[in-house]
Chain A
Amino acid sequence: MKLKPEDLKKISDKMEASTNLRSGAGRAKITVHMGTCGIATGSRDIMKAFLEELETSGQKDILFTTSGCAGLCSHEPMATIEIKGESPVKYVHLTKEKVKKIFDEHVMKGNIVEESALGRGSERVG
C-alpha cells in the first residue's frame, strides 16, 4: 500500500488530537533513538510499538520524538522516558514486549523498569 499525502494529513490530525504535550501541557516524553545504529537494529518498530501503546491507553499528554546516536550503539534499540519533573531514564536493548512493560509501568505509573534501564540521564540531542 502506498501512502498518499492526504493519508499523512489524516495521521497527523489524528495524533494531534490525541497528544498535546507539544504545546507544553504534557506530563511525559518518549524519545526513541533514531541514529543509524538505532534504525539498523529496529528502532522504527520500537517507535511503532510505543505509538500503539499510546493509542490503546487513550492518553493525551505524552510527546513522542526522536534523537540521534547517543554513542551507545551496542545498546540499541534505545529509548529515553522522561516524566515531567523527574530525571530521564534510558532504556536499552528494547523489544516490543519491553516497550509494553515500560509504557505500562513507567509512563503510566511512574515506576522505573530497572531490568531494562541503563541509567538516569540524557545525551545531547543532535
Chain B
Amino acid sequence: MEDLSLHILDIVENSIRAGAEHVSVKLNEKDGVLFLSIEDDGKGMDKRILQRVTSPFYSSKEGKKFGLGLSLLKHAVLETKGSFEINSSVGKGTRIRASFIRNHPDMKPLGDISLTMKMLRLSHPGIEFIYEFTGNSA
C-alpha cells in the first residue's frame, strides 16, 4: 500500500464484509504521533480468530487461506515504531487502534483520505460512516 488512506480503505472494506452498519474512522495527531482508530459494529471475531488475524497466512473469510489487510497495516505501524491493538467481540464488532510516529523515516504519507471516505460513502450508501480528523494538521 502506498499510503495510509489505502490501508484504511482496505480495513473498512473488511468491516463492511463483516456486516457492519456503522463504521467510524478517527485520526488524531498530537505531539508527533498520529493515532488511528477504526471501529465497527460488524459480526466481530472470537479469541481464536483474533490471535491469528494479523498473520498474513490466515484469513477468516470462507474459502481463503491468506489475508493480508490487517497484517500489512500492522507492519506499516510497527515500521514507524508505533503501536497496534485490535479488540473484537462476537456479535458486537471490532476496534483497531494504532499509533504512528510521524517523523520516522518509514512513516507512510496519509494520502487522499478524503477520496477514501468519499468512495466508501458512494459505494455503500446503506452504511453510516463517521470520519474525524483532529489535531495539529487537521
Residues of A within 8 A of B (CB): 1-3, 5, 8, 11-12, 15-16, 22, 32, 34-37, 39-40, 44, 47-48, 51, 64-66, 68-69, 71, 124, 126
Contacts and interface: CB of A to CB of B under 8 A. Distances in A.
A44 B68 CA distance: 17
B6 A40 contact: yes
Nearest to A47: B119
B57 interface: no
Q: 10 shortest A-B CB distances, which residue pairs? A: A3-B114, A36-B69, A36-B68, A66-B123, A34-B13, A39-B10, A8-B121, A2-B133, A36-B10, A15-B122
Give chain B's interface secondary structure class: helix
Contacts, number: 77
A65 B124 CA distance: 7
A116 B97 CA distance: 40
Interface of B: 1, 6, 9-10, 13, 16-17, 61-64, 67-69, 72, 113-119, 121-126, 129-131, 133, 138
